[in-house]
Amino acid sequence: MYRFIMVEDEEEHAKHLMDFCERLRDEKGVELSLEWEKNPVNFIEKYRGNADLIFLDIAMPMMNGMDASRCLRDLDPN
């Protein structure tokens, strides 16, 4: 099973991405879990290096997606 996490502050965009991932699961038979986090700072604090794929919004309050990705590399170089 794949673990996907999306970090997206706008609900409409998060729903669109969730729909896409659910379609992938249903049409291709890919087993996956999908988690949604609105706040990039909370996500970084909770992350334990256990995701297969992370979707990061670029423009978010508090921390943008590029800065969040740099923090992720420090936490999990893989």
What pLDDT sits at residue 49? 85
> What SS3 state is found at 32?
strand
Angle CA 38–29–54, to nearest 5: 25
What pLDDT sits at residue 75? 86
Give the 3-state secondary structure percentages of the chain, helix then strand then coil, rounded to 5.
45, 20, 35
Q: Where are the beta strands (DSSP E) in the chain?
A: 2-7, 32-37, 53-56
What pLDDT sits at residue 50? 87
Q: Enumerate residue ranges in the chain where pLDDT < 50.
A: none
Please give the DSSP secondary-structure letter assigned to residue 9: S
pTM of the model: 0.86
